[in-house]
Structure 1
Amino acid sequence: MLCPGENDTAPAMDALLKGSTANAVGVSKELRHGVQHAVEIIADEVLRRMAEPVNDVTPADIEDPRLPFARELTRDCLRYLYRILFLLYAEARPELGILPADDGSYEAGYSVARLRELVARDEELVEEEAKNTFHLYHSLDLLFAKVNFGHRRYGSEPDDDQPSDDERTREEKAERRSEDIGLRFDPLRSELFDPGSIRLIGQGVLDPRCDEETAPRWLDLRLRNSALHSVLRLLTMKKGRPGERGGFVSYRNLGINELGAVYEGLMSYTGIIADEELCEVAKDGDPDEGSWLIPARRQKDYPDEALVHYDEEDARQGLRGVKKYERGSFVYRLSGRERETTASYYTPESLTKVTVELALKELLSQDADADTTRASRLLSYKICEPALGSGAFLNEAINQLAEEYLRRRQKELDRSIPASDVLTEKQKVKAYIALHNAYGVDLNAMGRELAEVSLWLNTMHPGMQAPWFGLHLRRGNSLIGARRAIYTPDDICSPDKAWLKAKGGLAPTPLPLRQDGRPQPLPADAVHQFLLPSPGWAAITNSIEAKKLAKDHVDRLAAWRKGLFQRPTRSTAHLNADGSPKIDRRTGQPQKERASQFTRLHDAARRAEFLWSCVVKRMELSEREIARRIDVWGADPADPEYAVLRWPEQAVPKEKVYAELFEAAGTPYRRLKTVMDAWCALWFWPTDRVGLLDGTDPEYAVPATEVGLDTLAEMLGGTGDVPADPAPADDEGGQQAAADAQPAVAPTFFRAMTLFPVDGEQMSLDEADWEAAAATSAATPEAKPRKTPKPKQPARRPVIPLTNLDDWLDFLEAMLGAADVPDGTLLDKYDDLDNLKEFEDNLVLFMGMDNADPEARFPWLRVVRELRDKHAFLHWELDFALVFAENGGFDLQVGNPPWVRPRWDEDAVLAEYEPWFELEEKPTQEEKDRRRQELLARPKARGYVLRELTTTMGQVAFFGTAQVYPLLVGTQPDLYRAFMCQVWAHRSAGGTVGMLHPDSHFTGDKEGPLRAAAYRRLRLHGDFVNSGQRFFSPTGGRYRPLWCPHLRPSERDQVRPSVVVGL
């Protein structure tokens, strides 16, 4: 086996390994097509069941208002298939102990293997009773329930071991158990297997025509045998080669990476319900690289070679010729444009392994001396895959860290793990790392779900309940979001307004939450970037194409920008001519700065910082409460070195933790995220919603009763009196800086209270006497009237557009508060989530925040919400605040980010409505212009083009501005370059990055700054060559040159020579 064959120079082992790899890749590709087809089968079955007389409902009747029906149906079908794939994988590995797969009664009565044998007998069911009953559905449903809720779970019966048992008792119980073990399931309690995670398959949809309270009736959407028979054959059987028989798919030989390839290949697919009979067209009639749908009535407009035809599998069912989708049927296809814009490509396992290995070598000390990294340190490394996909890199990092931990720990203890326990102990270490230290982000919501499944499959071990990664794996855009970066007062108030310039603009100063091991507080009077207008807002106004399509709206957006982009007013009345502060004669202290737009901004910044600290505290408590007990080999929690392994006695339900952190309205996290989302959304503002910004929308014209401060104060039991401000003074520029400034109104709604120590002990919100405050406020009118005339205060506007900076400031104060904030040290006393929640609830009144729905007062926030859901803005230092506050960032970041240049490709966009623009090889310009004009005359197509153009222009502006990505200014933006900048910013002090991406930044005149930054961090540059496609299939069926820079941050200018790694 290890020697060359008689007529061959390579050992037979090489051929075996190569054949095994090729088989796994081939099976995964076939399985991906099988899963794609299975999604269509299940979805079509659900639609047919809905139309049957017993149900007789339409998608519109049962659609969830929060999620389009076709998208929910696609999600439910994929989840159902994930369940089956999970069970097939677990059954193939009985040593993991997830299923009783080696129990004869399980195999004969419950297993998916039994169903596989059943469907293998016939290619299709013939008898009506066999086709239209539900044996397969009920078999799977019973298995799903047993897996999730358990059956005779371990520890629930008298003969199960208990912590108090002595050795003799354990031996006696073991002997009794060996006589009659019986079938048992440990409950996984998984979100995947939870009955509520799939609504449209089964009997979980309430009939909309019944009375829910008196006579509830549930729709029968169970899958019939005919559908599941086809699905199970697709998932468990592979086609035979010509002249050979087919066989079963070996899930034992199919690894996590191959399953990941199956999942990841489907991430760009989209499900729709045909509203008329449709045909599918693609280049050369091959839909693997993307296709388009056309009405069947237009089939004659396209050559036969562009039409997709039924394949051999369809022909066996009597389907031949051009592939068609009936009206009302489900279509699950790969959009060519979606594939290009999302770059959802799978990375071969060979590259994943070497990338992680080389990055990890740089992170770990390898010399056997006193400075060698201790094994315990590996259990605290924070690892992240910023472009998650199926989690291939994250899984590989977990694997290698677990192996390295066990190797080092065995060496430290000078003892070895028994051979029979090695696999289980390794799985436990992997599970601990995955649950507590693994992070990832993906733009695709289903991508995040499939990554969770992949991590689960990779870490399973006996006795393990389903892991939960809700706080660590997030859906979001890794490249578009707000960050903790600041401008100084001089920057903001400078006459040249460099921070507002689109070209040659001033970049903000990054302010990490922790740097060099110390927290970084907000400098005095500094303001966060996301609290200020940005020159990239309404980026669509820079598009010539947009002006042709919607000139009036674009002109109005441009005028809105001009009105908003003004430097804030600021008073200098408190300063002498030389800049020194004036002294108050009565107090002997420096005079306070008068209220102005600038003071409102830096007050908002201070309050944002306080709310940020609240988020960090909640994340800290949340992580502690959901920590999972896992017995890691060689790690004693009583040992101070392994104190990190401590866990709560009773974990808080994960749903409660997640909801209170990320979903509850009015929390510090939601308030900060709303502001950050608004700042990002304004870059992508649609042209047809300009009225909500400039105040011309009819919604603002509706008469509304304005409530003044006096009225509100009277309602709250106060007077509404506000001290009169001294007369404004001219600043050095001759402007009356504070004349137009609007004072903050919210603090006058209640008697001011302080949490700061004033001649005594500091008071907390819990100690505040609100009843006494109300009584004092009610008694105020009896006091002696003031002699100074009461100034006329502006009414509190119930509805506010975004026409100028004052409107923006009103929004900031509504979300972040308009009153002083407590000292952040108060948060140290809250050591459980319930007490912290009470504290956060009190903040709303104390800080003068709006407590009502913000979209009612700021209607333009509805568009912000729509854009947030579409673009999934991710604010790293907020969403992973604890990692940045405690660790300064991630210790290991690995991945293969998208290699896409955001640019306007009009033909690809138009092809979504008229595929001719992509299928026609050499069209004349005259014909192209004619078709374009005809297409854009259709309102629906015109709106789609404008939306896509708005997205592209927003991305180009975001990636090309000095205020966000200063290293990319002047270059042709590429997503991989933006990822480089992000991972540099997100690494911890000693963190390492290993990424797969091209090396085009090493050439080009304008790439100098980016190139210099890369060279300062470069540790290893590997050039991977795939000549002849000998080592792995080219991604996406095409050859793409692969480079592997391994980056570790360093400020040294000296650079090691690049090392070329040949494969």
Structure 2
Amino acid sequence: MHRAARQRGRRQKKSLYSGEGALDPGELSLECLRYLYRLLFLFYIEARPELHYAPVASETYLKGYSLEHLRELELMPLTSEAERGGRYFHDSLDRLFHLVHEGYQPKQDLFAEQSRQTGRDAFEMQALKSHLFDPTRTPRLNRVVFPNHLLQQVIRLMSLSQEGGSGARKRRGRIFYAQLGINQLGAVYEALLSYRGFFATTDLYEVKPKGERWDPIGIGFFVKAEALSDYAEEEKVFLRDEAGHQKLLMHPKGSFIYRLAGRDRQKSASCYTPEVLTRSLVKYALKALYKEQLDPLPDDAARAERVLSLTVCEPAMGSVAFLNEAINQLADQYLQLVQSASGTRIPQQDYAREKQQVKMYLADQNVFGVDSNPVAVELAEVSLWLNALSADRFVPWFGLQLHHGNSLIGARREVYRRAQPGHTRDGSWLKTAPERLPLGQTRPQGRIWHFLLPDAGMAKYTARDVRALYPNQIRSIESWRRQFTRPFSQDHIARLEKLSARIVELWDHHAANLAELRRRTTDPYAIRGRAARGERTSLEYKDTAMDQELLANELANELENASAYRRLKLAMDYWCALWFWPIAAAAELPERDEWLLNLENLLLGDTVATHCVGEPIQLYAATNPEAGRRFMDKFGVVNFKGLFAAFPRLAMADGIARRRKFFHWELAFADIFRDRGGFDLILGNPPWIKVEWSSGDMLGDYEPRFVIRKLTAPQLARLRDETFERIPALKPGWTEEFEESEGTQNFLNAQVNYPQLRGV
């Protein structure tokens, strides 16, 4: 990453850290992880020749193109500057990535026939169109040339085990990817989800808690040279140089530092579950599911068919260890039932191949997941694909199955009775939980969706230190909340009913549209006992269909009309945003009439598009134009750019939602909740980490004394004020962290959201 950043900076002759040429360290980290995932995939397919993904039987491929031929060079000494700084490794990998993505057919080569006649084996390689090898996913790295010594080190680290203690154990052994389990790799790659990269804008020195050993891959704490005097010698990190002298560990200006962020790890609850626990939990969960859904069926043929319809979800998926284990066990169960139903046995030499095909079918159609870390979604795609690799080179598409979002924060299919918003006492909506209204069930007359109504926990910031820093804003928010949560008038209730009726129409339309989209983007795939059904579509078609039909009128989308999904999502996001509203924007909180007017323009009325007269516009998806026309005829045009210009609070709500990652389950999986009432099985082992506000944890990233020392409350307050004075730009970030923590606590403790947790 450091090499990529420096090379980009030299080439563009711009600052890496600020201004027009600034690199986003998060995006750079993500692209580097994608690069590593590509290598991981290649290690796997070359170690599994029976899958026929890589033509390792061809000497031409093996000696001239493969990753294996670079592994043979992993320990070769690079003695000269020309060897160290050359680009052989880089060009070889670049060519290999291109081969995998674009494929290669001998008929394209004018000399292919001559090669066959002379005994040279001209190999074939089918294109593997996937997000993983799509060059547009690594635009920054595409402009970088990594030197030989750097990529040799990367391949060496991924090829060889670490050195042991002494004797024979000290020697490094080769990692055999054919024998390495996906869950074992998940333990390593899931840990990367908690790492964070940033550029050193000045020389930085590492410090640590007194008495603790320094861990080069552990949580890092960094200070500038002028701050070193604030730390004892035992708190500074020293390393020995080549001469054996102790020297302070210093990261020079311009370095790209990629280290474990303890606060991020705790916030994301990124923890790995041991494989033995994963296997056991899945086994007994499936055992209960089989008893409930398979045992009552008349025969094994019906039971096998039911297995292929089961849906499994992991709501905090990480590296999808539980989903992969469920796929493995479900595949065995299916094949056992198919053999029993047909009265035939699968030959032992064919069983592994048949199982991989069933696993691929299940991965492509039956498993779902959510994670708050966007990198986890990409890791999950790779992990599911690797676990289900089959010899037919099928490429699964997970666009509608794996989602980025916070599983705990979102709106639901729940309603209040018409009279409740007008009550002032025990019957008030503020004191009772809403009633569930499943998708597909008719909305009773007078029911009002819970996410149209305010809550007493919205923007409720009570921490003493925050109130002291923002006294005027907190008083303003409290006054707003009193007014916003007062009983509704009959006129307002009538407006709420009208909005609720339109929401039903939009939700029903979205559920039907999502089901149709899922059908069109699911490729046919034949397995034992079931023939292929449907038509195959390209990766480009699937991505375009999802972007234009589902996510239509995202800010980066050229469509002018927001889809039913985007309209509903923004309405729900607006409600969620009020729980996390920025303290600094207290004056922008909506009054009751403003709130209703914003929602009416979003859900009921047309908005003026932002295009110029005579300028061509696109109002519906190219992948399904007729459905787009019918939608526009019924629901009109809602253009987000025009909407945000007219109603800035909606733009604020959209921005808050993107930062907080609100996730609305019955909207994201509307067709599944409509047709099945939800998922058949929810799997996972989420760590039980209590959400608590710790003022020092966030500040510890900038002033390590908050974390590496045990300070009293007065000492913390004094150091906080000193830090704010020294780094004025830090206060807004600290406040935003507080808003996230306090907003999450209020949301989880609210009667409307989690009545089961009341008093816990």
TM above 0.5, yes or no, is yes
Cα distance in 2 for residues equivalent to 1:64 and 1:671:
35
Aligned to 2:645, the other structure's residue is in SS state: helix
Aligned to 1:811, the other structure's residue is in SS state: helix
Counterpart for residue 276 of structure 1: 202
Cα distance in 2 for residues equivalent to 1:238 and 1:676:
49
What pairs up with 1:23-172 in 2 under 5 angstroms?
43-52=1-10, 54-59=11-16, 69-122=24-77, 125-152=78-105
Cα distance in 1 for residues equivalent to 2:673 and 2:100:
37
Counterpart for residue 839 of structure 1: 630
What pairs up with 1:652-801 in 2 under 5 angstroms?
653-665=541-553, 666-693=562-589
Counterpart for residue 1011 of structure 1: none
Measured after TM superposition, the shift of residue 650 of structure 1 is 4.8
Q: Do the aligned partners of 2:218 and 2:259 also contact (CA within 8 Å) in 1?
A: no
- Tell me whether 1:877 sits opposite 2:666 in the alignment: yes
Measured after TM superposition, the shift of residue 55 of structure 1 is 4.0
What pairs up with 1:930-941 in 2 under 5 angstroms?
930-937=718-725, 938-941=727-730
Measured after TM superposition, the shift of residue 458 of structure 1 is 0.6
Measured after TM superposition, the shift of residue 626 of structure 1 is 1.0
Counterpart for residue 446 of structure 1: 375
Cα distance in 2 for residues equivalent to 1:621 and 1:692:
40
- Tell me whether 1:902 sits opposite 2:691 in the alignment: yes
Which one has a larger percent helix, Structure 1 or Structure 2?
A: 2
1:539 is matched with which residue: 438, 460, 463? Answer: 460
Aligned to 1:331, the other structure's residue is in SS state: strand
What TM-score, normalized by structure 2, do the two folds share?
Answer: 0.90
Counterpart for residue 481 of structure 1: 410
Cα distance in 1 for residues equivalent to 2:20 and 2:523:
37
- Tell me whether 1:463 sits opposite 2:392 in the alignment: yes
Which string of whole-angstrom CA distances, capped at 9 and with x for unpartnered residues, describes residues 329-355 of structure 1? 101111122222222111111011010
Counterpart for residue 406 of structure 1: 335
C-alpha spacing 1:128/1:920, structure 2 compared with 1 (3 Å): same
How many aligned residue pairs are there? Answer: 720
Measured after TM superposition, the shift of residue 454 of structure 1 is 0.2
Q: Do the aligned partners of 2:399 and 2:543 also contact (CA within 8 Å) in 1?
A: no
Cα distance in 1 for residues equivalent to 2:198 and 2:504:
44
Q: Do the aligned partners of 2:71 and 2:159 also contact (CA within 8 Å) in 1?
A: yes
Measured after TM superposition, the shift of residue 318 of structure 1 is 9.5
C-alpha spacing 1:850/1:628, structure 2 compared with 1 (3 Å): closer
Measured after TM superposition, the shift of residue 673 of structure 1 is 0.5
Q: Do the aligned partners of 1:342 and 1:898 also contact (CA within 8 Å) in 2?
A: no
Counterpart for residue 237 of structure 1: 160
- Tell me whether 1:526 sits opposite 2:479 in the alignment: no
Cα distance in 2 for residues equivalent to 1:393 and 1:320:
46
C-alpha spacing 1:305/1:114, structure 2 compared with 1 (3 Å): farther
Q: Do the aligned partners of 2:60 and 2:120 also contact (CA within 8 Å) in 1?
A: no
What pairs up with 1:620-631 in 2 under 5 angstroms?
620-631=515-526
Q: Do the aligned partners of 1:44 and 1:329 also contact (CA within 8 Å) in 2?
A: yes
Q: Do the aligned partners of 1:615 and 1:669 also contact (CA within 8 Å) in 2?
A: yes
Report sequence identity in percent.
36
- Tell me whether 1:806 sits opposite 2:596 in the alignment: no
Cα distance in 2 for residues equivalent to 1:142 and 1:316:
38
Measured after TM superposition, the shift of residue 367 of structure 1 is 5.9
In structure 1, give the amino acid aligned to 2:527. V
Counterpart for residue 868 of structure 1: 657
Measured after TM superposition, the shift of residue 844 of structure 1 is 4.3
Q: Which runs of 5+ in 1 are unaligned?
A: 1-42, 158-175, 204-220, 514-518, 571-595, 637-644, 694-801, 820-829, 972-1063
What pairs up with 1:209-288 in 2 under 5 angstroms?
221-241=144-164, 242-243=166-167, 244-283=170-209, 284-287=212-215, 288=217
2:425 is matched with which residue: 478, 496, 516? Answer: 496
Deviating more after overlay: 474-483 vs 661-670 = 661-670
- Tell me whether 1:548 sits opposite 2:468 in the alignment: yes
Aligned to 1:270, the other structure's residue is in SS state: strand
C-alpha spacing 1:63/1:425, structure 2 compared with 1 (3 Å): farther
Cα distance in 1 for residues equivalent to 2:242 and 2:46:
31
- Tell me whether 1:608 sits opposite 2:484 in the alignment: no
C-alpha spacing 1:631/1:964, structure 2 compared with 1 (3 Å): same
Higher-Rg member (1/2) = 1
- Tell me whether 1:647 sits opposite 2:507 in the alignment: no
Counterpart for residue 182 of structure 1: 122
C-alpha spacing 1:319/1:969, structure 2 compared with 1 (3 Å): farther
C-alpha spacing 1:925/1:969, structure 2 compared with 1 (3 Å): closer
Measured after TM superposition, the shift of residue 857 of structure 1 is 1.4
Measured after TM superposition, the shift of residue 127 of structure 1 is 1.0
Aligned to 2:197, the other structure's residue is in SS state: strand
Measured after TM superposition, the shift of residue 146 of structure 1 is 0.6
C-alpha spacing 1:309/1:83, structure 2 compared with 1 (3 Å): farther
Cα distance in 2 for residues equivalent to 1:319 and 1:469:
53
Cα distance in 1 for residues equivalent to 2:253 and 2:429:
52
Counterpart for residue 1039 of structure 1: none
Which string of whole-angstrom CA distances, capped at 9 and with x for unpartnered residues, describes residues 554-580 of structure 1? 11111222222222211xxxxxxxxxx
Which string of whole-angstrom CA distances, capped at 9 and with x for unpartnered residues, describes residues 30-68 of structure 1? xxxxxxxxxxxxx1111221243x542333689699xx7
Deviating more after overlay: 193-202 vs 283-292 = 283-292
Counterpart for residue 762 of structure 1: none
Aligned to 2:84, the other structure's residue is in SS state: helix
In structure 2, give the amino acid aligned to 1:538. A
Cα distance in 1 for residues equivalent to 2:304 and 2:454:
48
Measured after TM superposition, the shift of residue 463 of structure 1 is 2.4
Q: Do the aligned partners of 2:552 and 2:563 also contact (CA within 8 Å) in 1?
A: yes
In structure 1, give the amino acid aligned to 2:66. S
Which string of whole-angstrom CA distances, capped at 9 and with x for unpartnered residues, describes residues 234-259 of structure 1? 22122322233223222222210111
In structure 2, give the amino acid aligned to 1:872. K
Q: Do the aligned partners of 1:120 and 1:233 also contact (CA within 8 Å) in 2?
A: yes
Which string of whole-angstrom CA distances, capped at 9 and with x for unpartnered residues, describes residues 641-692 of structure 1? xxxx521265681111220244211111110001111111110011111232
Deviating more after overlay: 290-299 vs 956-965 = 290-299
Counterpart for residue 610 of structure 2: none
Aligned to 2:177, the other structure's residue is in SS state: coil
Q: Do the aligned partners of 1:388 and 1:895 also contact (CA within 8 Å) in 2?
A: yes
Counterpart for residue 729 of structure 1: none
Aligned to 1:50, the other structure's residue is in SS state: helix
Aligned to 1:118, the other structure's residue is in SS state: coil
C-alpha spacing 1:128/1:438, structure 2 compared with 1 (3 Å): same
Q: Which runs of 5+ in 2 are unaligned?
A: 110-115, 554-561, 607-620
Which string of whole-angstrom CA distances, capped at 9 and with x for unpartnered residues, describes residues 802-835 of structure 1? 22x211111111111159xxxxxxxxxx9x8332
Measured after TM superposition, the shift of residue 884 of structure 1 is 0.3
In structure 2, give the amino acid aligned to 1:690. A
Which string of whole-angstrom CA distances, capped at 9 and with x for unpartnered residues, describes residues 248-272 of structure 1? 2222222101111111111111111
Q: Do the aligned partners of 2:523 and 2:536 also contact (CA within 8 Å) in 1?
A: no
Measured after TM superposition, the shift of residue 321 of structure 1 is 3.4
Aligned to 2:368, the other structure's residue is in SS state: strand
Q: Do the aligned partners of 1:622 and 1:833 also contact (CA within 8 Å) in 2?
A: no
Which string of whole-angstrom CA distances, capped at 9 and with x for unpartnered residues, describes residues 566-596 of structure 1? 22211xxxxxxxxxxxxxxxxxxxxxxxxx2
Aligned to 1:271, the other structure's residue is in SS state: strand
In structure 1, give the amino acid aligned to 2:142. G
2:280 is matched with which residue: 351, 354, 366? Answer: 354
